[in-house]
Structure 1
């Protein structure tokens, strides 16, 4: 079937699902040669965010959301990274987490590095991950458990556990079971949070 839309319309449709971000490969697939891409970058139509990652200039004028940055890092990782730990707590608005660093979980064989992100290597199960607009994030339960396992400040774990339970997302029993599967350190942090929540 013939696509009557022009390259810009095709690329815009892709970028609109990714908060205005797109890759050089996506621009190429939409019909922009590398020479045309360079032209649009030089003219200021596209903002270069990272190597091979751009954003439509129009999105610079829109109110940004706190989660916009996660779309960029998802693209940087070629969709292999999942927002996790305290960054995931912030996405889910669980507790008092306000991380200064971006935490991503990547597969063990992931080789890229960047000073702006903290990488955790693990194979996540499908049930531990959910999709957001333009990126993936660990579920609220997984976010709490992995934060507890990382030895993050107990106050952050306490507040996240209290909110998780108050929202009815999970039960105390299921939370404790998930913590036990992660190891003794995680179990202890979650037990402390449960005691604080019951007090």
Structure 2
């Protein structure tokens, strides 16, 4: 049975509302919009074209920017398989001074997509490593800090992130050490130094 336009818009709006107004072409099809209808809405300016097969309702672009809208975009680009990680996760958690020039995403080993705008890390994350946000997922603070240590990020970035995470009660020394142990000696060394600096 064909949906009428208002049913399709309401269905797509419900999906997009949980993703900061973003939606994929596939989600639009599921809501009842043919590819021809999608082209029409994009050409008329009803939908903003963000990337190939990725749109945003124009109304959402007028809302105040919360700073992490682009992370929703990259989650949709990855078809929900990517998790925001490393220094981008620290930034999302507002921990320390990390300000990465490119988006860091952790993806499953078989992930094939590529973009110059992102740095992909391959790992199989478990649920305790991940926090759900509106429209995307991000590594939890202990994992994000340990990832940065394992990647050899500047010690000042680690020190600031660990100090703020402990001060806010976001994590504990024990959880940080455990997360670092899972990622190896380099991660352990960086986290141990940061913990010593925060004592």
Give the structure-1-normalised TM-score: 0.94
CA distance in 2, matches of 1:174, 1:24: 40
The Cα offsets for residues 70-111 of structure 1, whole Å up to 9 and x where unpaired, read as 110001000000000111111111111121211000001101
The SS at the match of 1:66 is coil
CA distances 1:124-149 after superposition (whole Å, capped 9, x unpaired): 01110111000001101111111111
Matched, 1:187 2:194: no
Q: CA RMSD in A?
A: 1.6
Give the CA deviation at 1:3: 9.8
Structure 1 gaps, min length 5: none
Between 57-66 and 28-37, the greater mean CA deviation after superposition: 57-66
Count of residues in Structure 1 that have an aligned counterpart in Structure 2: 197
The ranges of structure 1 where at least 4 consecutive aligned residues each deviate by more than 6 angstroms after the TM superposition are none
- For normalisation by structure 2, the TM-score amounts to 0.94
Alignment of 1:45-84 (within 5 A): 45-84=46-85
Distance between the aligned counterparts of 1:14 and 1:45, measured in 2? 16
Q: Is the 8 A contact 2:141 2:165 kept in 1?
A: yes
Q: Following the alignment from structure 2 to structure 1, what is the Cα–Cα distance between the partners of residues 15 and 106?
A: 25
Deviation at 1:7, TM superposition (A): 1.1
Distance 1:5 1:37 in 2: 15
1:87-102 equivalence runs, <5 A: 87-102=88-103
The alpha-carbon deviation at position 65 of structure 1 amounts to 1.8
